[in-house]
Amino acid sequence: MKTIIIIDDEKDARITLSQHISRYPALRLIGECTHGREAVEKINAQKPDLIFLDIHLPGLNGYQVVQQLVHLPVIVVTSAYENYALKAFDYDAVDFLLKPFTAERFALAVAKALAFIPANTSG
């Protein structure tokens, strides 16, 4: 089972991601964060396999969160602003989900992410 943390300050976005994740038996949501500093602490403490990371966050933006991580999970960046897409890949994101996204687009992002997670992790 691969573990996931959602980092997004918008409640509706967290709900949408959580609903999508719940459709995958191999994925387990272990936390949600609404603030950049909270995200750094939770990611480093819980060591998820994968994070869905928004860019616009209070405290630290998504890129600043990545810069402060000790544990670096697989990253899928989520944003309503497509101009952040190229920069996301500078921070080793495996995919970029432009909000709002479809279930099919989410499935593609999950498939890409899972390809980068070592098979021996179990969360």
- 99 assigned to some structural domain: yes
- 77 assigned to some structural domain: yes
Q: Which residues of the chain have pLDDT under 50?
A: 123
Number of structural domains found in the chain: 1
- 64 assigned to some structural domain: yes
Instruction: Compute the distance between CA of residue 35 and CA of residue 19 in angstroms, rounded to an integer.
Output: 21
Residue 75 pLDDT: 97
Q: How many CA atoms lie within 13 A of 42 on its CB side?
A: 20
Residue 86 pLDDT: 75
Residue 121 pLDDT: 55
Residue 123 pLDDT: 47
Task: Supply 76's token pair.
Answer: 């899928």
Can you list the pairs that 9-15 forms with residues at least 24 positions away whose Cβ atoms lie under 8 Å? 9/34, 9/35, 9/54, 9/56, 9/57, 9/58, 10/54, 13/54, 13/78, 13/99
- 121 assigned to some structural domain: no
Residue 119 pLDDT: 78
**Does the pTM exceed 0.85?**
yes
- 122 assigned to some structural domain: no
- 26 assigned to some structural domain: yes
Q: Assign residue 51 the CATH number of its domain.
A: 3.40.50.2300
Alpha helices in 47-92 (DSSP H): 62-67, 85-90
Q: Domain span at residue 62?
A: 2-116
pLDDT, the chain, mean: 93
Q: How far is CA 16 from the centre of its chain?
A: 13
Residue 120 pLDDT: 66
